[in-house]
Chain A
Amino acid sequence: DAGVIQSPRHEVTEMGQEVTLRCKPISGHDYLFWYRQTMMRGLELLIYFNNNVPIDDSGMPEDRFSAKMPNASFSTLKIQPSEPRDSAVYFCASSPSGGRDTDTQYFGPGTRLTVL
């Protein structure tokens, strides 16, 4: 089975531009998580969804960040306008709602974002 798919893998943009990151979770997984990883702050949860509904968005840095999950197989994380301090690796992860690995989070390969 395919794992979590993220696109693009790398994004370089200029300050002020809009950035859209995309994620396709593992089929059948009901939970989807967006993380940001930096050397200084480690892995930070931005937001997570259950059955396409946002459950906890307390980690979203500010209004410049928004996330949507229009259906069970697709989610986006948008930054508008982008700033240099947004440079990081952004991960998407998904998790099943039941079964023995119910709390396991399956991560995608990440999107490395550089804002100049």
Chain B
Amino acid sequence: TQLLEQSPQFLSIQEGENLTVYCNSSSVFSSLQWYRQEPGEGPVLLVTVVTGGEVKKLKRLTFQFGDARKDSSLHITAAQPGDTGLYLCAGKGAGNNRKLIWGLGTSLAVNP
């Protein structure tokens, strides 16, 4: 069974701090996605990484896919209260199966 482990599970920081969250697996994925979920809403896609070693930037967010396509990280620079939410990673296996394997998420609170 494919599993995605996210760490840390909870993170509470002050505005302006930097942070990194991790998504790890023993399985290889054809692609990996990061979603953010705010209270009372569904997850919203932030980014998809496909190539091993790929780095993508979205404003203050930097996403990296591991060289072996088994892990990924999300780094936030100068966090703001608006970054507060649940960050979920989801991996897709090879082939046409649309099923995503989801991590449990990292709950981030950025305090003003």
Neighbouring B residues of A106 by C-beta, 8 Å: 45
Judging by beta carbons under 8 Å apart, are A56 and B99 in contact? yes
A107 to B45, CA, bound (A): 9
A43 partner residues in chain B, CB cutoff 8 A: 43, 88, 102, 105
Complex alpha-carbon distance, A32 and B23, angstroms: 25
| Interface residues on chain B, size class | 10 to 19
A–B complex contacts, Cβ < 8 Å, 10 sampled: A4-B42, A33-B98, A42-B103, A42-B105, A43-B43, A55-B98, A91-B43, A103-B31, A104-B48, A107-B41
Contact B41 A110 (CB under 8 A): yes
Q: A41 to B45, alpha carbons, bound, how many Å?
A: 20
Q: Which residues of A contact B (CB under 8 A)?
A: 4, 31, 33, 41-45, 48, 50, 55-56, 91, 93, 95, 101, 103-110
Q: Does B104 contact A (CB under 8 A)?
A: yes
Interface centre among A31, A50, A110 (most CB of B within 10 A): A110
The 6 lowest CB-CB distance pairs between A and B, nearest first, are A107-B42, A42-B104, A43-B102, A104-B45, A91-B42, A107-B43
Interchain CB contact (< 8 A) of A56 among B31, B88, B97: B97
Contact across chains for A103 and B92 when beta carbons are under 8 A apart: yes
Query: Which of these, A41, A91, A103, A110, contacts B98 with CB under 8 Å?
Result: A103
Of listed A33, A42, A93, A95, residue having the most chain B CB within 10 A: A42
Complex interface residues of chain B between 1 and 51 (CB less than 8 A to chain A): 31, 33, 40-45, 48
